[in-house]
Chains A and B, each alone.
Chain A
């Protein structure tokens, strides 16, 4: 059984410190994490706000969806699958798929960018992370659309499950992995570490 003092008052620390005081004076070892989470959240809300604007949707998001469909169509034809691409739709004899809003890598990229911007690294590393990370996620998304196309052709009953759960989770884990690998590269360890 856990012991408790009878008055219910919190026992003061021996050194008179508190977590809040430590945090305020920058002594808390969690302060960098809170700072990171703060900048990350603000950046992500900013990206999300920008991406939801009609002008951005028309000028950037819709053409991007068409580009994804076009690249996927090229890859599918290279793999020997006959298909046609109409705007953001990939049409084949056995199955058709449309790349819609949410099936792109823009939001995961925004999440990765927010994390890269919040992480304390040198400017050059940030630029390389922003470009490299966006490229990796774009390629991963191409792979996702192609696999979803083939799942639609050969295993249509699994299409929804894999689309909604499996790929979504995998995308987030890959984004996390990209960030962690980049962060290890971008940060210099202490001499003592």
Chain B
């Protein structure tokens, strides 16, 4: 029975070390990028809320006080200026630096890396915008008076579904989505992936 080559262990260790290093660099840059990212994500979330088609829906946007907080406003014109409540962007658990730190160390051409990073970032923007709607809807479950501002019907079933999705997303879902995007786009090119593609269809040790 053949032992796995040592080079694969080295490749995995090197990949993880590079990912940690890249993450540390991106993490420093992320604090500067948060306000812009927040504007993009909340704009997208507002479009999605409009697509759902409820007239008197909530509007999301940056708050005047904090750079990293998502404000929840009522769309009704008279109440538009008043922030109902806000939540920090950390609550949305954006894993953009994490995703990029997994993509950039993969052995691909620069062009492909940038392409995959762009697609991954756009996907994560979309996921984070849904995350904003999810956090907002979950927060509304504690404000029964404001239920009619959410785009979903008010019911115990709605609350339990939102509860499940919120806890799933905030506990592990955000990280899982990053790994799923990474596997989908980079597995083919990654050195580790190439090794596993040779291995997975074959018989396994018993």
Contact = CB atoms under 8 A, between A and B. Distances in A.
Contacts of B176: 41, 44, 111
Contacts, number: 116
Interface stretch (A8-16, A68-76, A142-150, A184-192): A184-192
Choose among B9, B175, B183, B188 the residue with the greatest number of A CB atoms under 10 Å from its CB: B175
Interface in B178-206: 178-180, 183-184, 187-188, 192, 195-206
B52 interface: no
Chain A interface size range:
35 or more
Given A52-B164, A176-B16, A189 B2 contact: yes
Majority SS at the chain A contact face: helix
Nearest to A181: B12
B23 interface: yes
Interface stretch (B39-47, B117-125, B135-143, B166-174): B166-174
Nearest to B1: A188
A174 B195 CA distance: 20
A185 B4 contact: yes
The secondary structure that dominates the B interface is: helix
Interface stretch (A90-98, A131-139, A163-171): A163-171
* Interface residue range, chain B: 35 or more
Given A120-B200, A190-B198, A177 B12 contact: yes
Contact of B206 (A30, A124, A166, A168): A124
B98 A125 contact: no
A51 to B, nearest CB: 8
B19 interface: yes
Given A52-B164, A177-B12, A166 B205 contact: no
**Which 6 A-B pairs rank lowest in CB-CB distance, beginning with the nearest?**
A107-B172, A122-B206, A187-B199, A193-B198, A107-B171, A48-B168
